[in-house]
Amino acid sequence: MWEQQPFITKGGAEIVRQMYAFDDKKGRPICLVPEITAIIQDRWRDVWSKQRASYRLFYIARCYRYERPQSLRYREFTQVGVEFLGGREPDDRRCVIALLRKILDELGVAYELDLEVRRGLGYYIEDGFEARCDALGAQKQVAGGGRYAEGIGWAIGLDRLLGAMAASRA
């Protein structure tokens, strides 16, 4: 659980509609965490940026979205992600995209990488990128990311990744 405000401020209307949101016993608005990047942005602003260093982060987290379950898209899911904070453009973008390619290639995922995608989350400040696996059908996005004010990163839904790996081997 986390306070709602970072997701409302950073995520925009799309993420807000998909949150499990409620008030705690003291009436404070909280939610089940729908994604991790908004939390990392707040930590950067509140703590890490004051140290004047760049950070490269990797995380694995349970997340929750109130949406209709679909093939390999569940209300509770594990998100794996990478964030590069305080880096230099365009080197940081090349770095995170190269890492995404390396991981998908090593895992044997047959994917296409679209480097100019309009992402639905409000914190993105330029076109993002997505890795798609056509073998997954209509819900073919495996990974997605982009640049926000504090840095750049991407995330993969672990269930989708496992499905893409299986579909790529079939």
pLDDT tens per residue across span 15-48: 778 899 999 999 999 999 998 988 888 888 777 6
pLDDT tens per residue across span 111-157: 999 999 887 667 788 889 999 999 888 778 899 999 988 899 999 99
The pLDDT value given to residue 124: 81
**CA gap 160, 35 in Å, rounded:** 15
Half-sphere CA count of 25, side-chain side, radius 13 A = 0
The pLDDT value given to residue 7: 87
The pLDDT value given to residue 104: 96
Domain ranges of the chain: 2-169
**CA gap 69, 63 in Å, rounded:** 14
**CA gap 54, 77 in Å, rounded:** 29
The pLDDT value given to residue 49: 67
In this prediction, residue 54 has a pLDDT band, given cuts at 50, 70 and 90, of confident
What CATH number labels 2-169? 3.30.930.10
**CA gap 9, 16 in Å, rounded:** 9
